[in-house]
Amino acid sequence: MPINKSMNYTGIVKIKYFTFASKNNPFKLECGKTLNQVTLAYEIYGNAKNIDKTILIQHALSGDAHAGGRYSPEDKKPGWWDAMIGPGKTFDTDKYYIICINVIGGCQGSTGPGSINPDTGKPYGSSFPLLTIRDMVNAQVELINHLGVDKILTVVGGSMGGMLTLRWAADYPDRVISAIPIATASKHSAMPIAFYEVGRQAIITDPNWNGGNYYEKETPAMGLAIARMIAHITYLSDESMHNKFARRLQDSSKNYQFSFETEFQIESYLHYQGTAFVSRFDANSYLIITKAMDYFDLSYGYKNLAETFSEVKSKFLVVSFSSDWHYPPKESKEIVTALRMNDVDVTYSEINSSHGHDAFLIEFKKLGSLLSGFLNNLEKEISDV
């Protein structure tokens, strides 16, 4: 349906592309390999006149650069954080210059396993190197420099986006004025590593995966769908699943069928999530990105997490959700403790929610109010200096 212009909305947006690196000046990765050409897909909301108030929004594992707006007046689905972006909203497009970038390794316009390798003219497939969260951030730095952004007012993101946010603040302390990591952790514990490994095995053992070289053949759709189903369970909570599905059957007029056909509503929901994910995501990208998340450990190479933040200059707002068992509040509190050990200005908030890890994509009113207050206070502090 057409956009209702009487309401605040981000508006019509257009995806943009930036390409850098070459054989003579390749992009170096932490694994020791290089990429001779890197393209980043990104979107911008707001006006460049506010470039001194740049907000960099980071997406989660299954997200992309399309955080706000629509691609046409008839576009039925806005960006994944559209409720937060627009005139008068938390990320006010009348006040801020807002950027969202699809990470390298992804499959929504940025260079990833499904991209054409300029050296061969064929998709990278299995030859695409393994990445880290730092690699993703370093690639973003190239685009930020290209756009002429010197300092970033706020880097913000949930889940993997929170990891990217933490890495920005730790690695580029002179460029990040404030950071808002949401529903995230400074490193993966054994539990998410375990769940993601089961998902990766579902893809790798799919006969159509073909060692990662399936782009001219049938894709490993079943493996990717199962991987998504497994991961999606961790994004919910017991309470949210009970409230939405409980033990209800698809057809309440029938008794148990004593078969392996889909009978329960929760089964149907998970199958839908898996099928929908396959239509928009690449299996190799899923492997690359989940592995990068598993490798992520902000304190790696340091004595402890506190030492990691020793050079940080950003003001922090750390947000968690009470029912998140993917990245439980205790992991956010570890970040807060480490920041306070360095006398970093940090505010912590645990939002009461039954929506589990996905709360950062659902609790727009609570989260929006919290972030708006933080940003307003931040601007006031800057103006008073």
Instruction: Please report, in angstroms and rounded to a whole number, the separation of the first and last CA atoms in the chain.
Output: 47
Q: Give dist(CA 79, CA 68) in Å, integer.
A: 4
Alpha helix (H) residue ranges in the chain:
133-146, 160-171, 190-204, 221-235, 238-244, 265-278, 283-295, 305-308, 329-340, 364-384
- Topology (CATH level 3) of domain 194-289: Rna Polymerase Sigma Factor; Chain: A (1.10.1740)
Q: What is the pLDDT of residue 188?
A: 97
- The residues annotated as belonging to the active site are 159, 324, 357
Neighbouring CB atoms inside 10 A of 236's CB total 24
**Is there a shared CATH topology between the 16-188+300-384 domain and the 194-289 domain?**
no
Instruction: Using the CB atoms, write b or e for 91-122: b if 16+ within 10 Å.
Output: bbbebbbbbbbbbbbbbbbbbbbbbebeeeee
Task: Please report, in tens digits, the pLDDT of each residue of the chain (385 residues total).
Answer: 343 443 345 789 999 999 999 999 999 999 999 999 999 999 999 999 999 999 999 999 999 999 999 999 999 899 999 999 999 999 999 999 999 999 999 999 999 999 999 999 999 999 999 999 999 999 999 999 999 999 999 999 999 999 999 999 999 999 999 999 999 999 999 999 999 999 999 999 999 999 999 999 999 999 999 999 999 999 999 999 999 999 999 988 888 989 999 999 999 999 999 999 999 999 999 999 999 999 999 999 999 999 999 999 999 999 999 999 999 999 999 999 999 999 999 999 999 999 999 999 999 999 999 999 999 999 999 887 6
Q: How many residues does the chain have?
A: 385
pLDDT at 383: 81
Contact 181, 164 (CB under 8 A): no
User: pLDDT at position 254, please?
Assistant: 84
pLDDT at 9: 53
The architecture in CATH of the region 16-188+300-384 reads 3-Layer(aba) Sandwich (3.40)
Residue boundaries of the structural domains of the chain: 16-188+300-384, 194-289
Q: Across 66-218, where does the E strand assignment appear?
A: 97-101, 116-117, 122-123, 152-158, 176-182
User: Rounded to an integer, what distance in angstroms lies between the CA atom of residue 352 and that of residue 13?
Assistant: 33
Q: What is the pLDDT of residue 385?
A: 60
Cα–Cα dist 41/106, whole Å: 10
pTM comes to 0.96
